[in-house]
Amino acid sequence: MTSTLEQSVNPTSEPQGSKSEHWIPYECNPEVFNSWAQQAGLLTSRHQFVDIYGIDDDLLNVIPKPTKAVVLLFPEHPGIKAKQTEHEEKVNAEGQHPVDHTLLFIKQKDEKACGTIALIHAIANSDVTYLPDSPLQKFISACKDKTPDDRGELLASTDVFSRVHPNTPGQTPHPTSDEGGTYTDFHFTCYVAAPDGNIRKAAAEKQHTVTIGDQHGVGGSDVVATLPSGPPELGSSNTLKAISVPHSGQLIASGMPPAEGLLEGMRLIELDGRRPFPIDHGPCTDVLDDTINVVKKYYLSQVESVYFSLMAFGAAPPINSPFH
């Protein structure tokens, strides 16, 4: 039996086009991403996407802190694909560090949906605030207890975001291929910090309390809470806040506080709906810095191209910042 919540995100009885008509390919543009996110229910007065103008330290230092996620747009290239395949084959053969089971991972079912999936991956796996009864709240809640494939099918079939896509400003006209179709030889992937899967599992089994909180020195104070065993539930306040424990809170395993501004007990996870599973890239102390290192290793090293683009998702920049 379909729940009321699932009915609210499944297609209505109104005529629907093909799956591909659901989506438009997005450019890596903060104005586009922020407009989409705001219409979908994110409180963009608190959290926004911003451009990463370059990977030099002086350009990275202007990014508002803390960074909760990074979105990468990269060109399709045989070298990149070969590197990804090599990594996936190694994981299949040797395994990888356990990934936090509460991460929201969506498999991509439509070739044009990678931008939307990157958006949702960034927002849903960060402790950010979005409105109750919004498209984001409905979809993320309906994804609970579903497999990544089922979430992908739900996203491909739902009309909950149908009024968000056509009204997004800032999108420039798409280049076209020789065949007259939209040129989409680019793809989005997303990087987030997630609690160490081993620590999460041990905490869930023992049901003990651990210290969690925002990054030290960046805002927020530590609290003590029991780790939940599943995704965050809906709150009863006027806004919905994804709790910080499952995704962006830090698990203090050593008994010593981390250095100022750094995470502890976290892993850097790449979420790409075309890949078979979330990719663990090792310990994460700073989402932005650690992501840049991974991008250099797996992407920039494989092809020289001006078509790489990066955006950071995190605290909304102040009015007097370079982003306004």
Residue 235, SS3 per DSSP: coil
User: What's CA 110's distance to the chain center, in Å?
Assistant: 18
CA atoms within 13 A on the CB side of 25: 16
Instruction: State phi, psi for 38 to the nearest 5 degrees.
Output: -65, -45
- What is the distance between the alpha carbons of residues 101 and 291, in angstroms, rounded to a whole number? 21
- What is the distance between the alpha carbons of residues 199 and 177, in angstroms, rounded to a whole number? 48
- What is the distance between the alpha carbons of residues 52 and 310, in angstroms, rounded to a whole number? 5
Task: Give the active site residue among 47, 165, 187, 247.
Answer: 187
CB 5 within 8 A of CB 133: no
Look up 284 and say whether it is catalytic. no
For CA atoms 22, 24, 25, 26, the dihedral sign is negative
Task: Provide CB contacts within 8 A for 101, sequence distance 6+.
Answer: 197, 200, 201
CA atoms within 13 A on the CB side of 83: 16
Reported as type and span, the H/E element at residue 181 is none
The DSSP annotation for 254-313 comes to: SSSPPPTT---SEEEEEE-TTSSS-EEEEE-S-HHHHHHHHHIIIIITT---S--EEEEE
Tell me the two tokens of residue 162: 């149908």
Look up 187 and say whether it is catalytic. yes
Task: Give the active site residue among 22, 28, 47, 114.
Answer: 114
Task: Provide CB contacts within 8 A for 186, sequence distance 6+.
Answer: 25, 73, 74, 75, 76, 307
Give catalytic residue positions: 114, 187
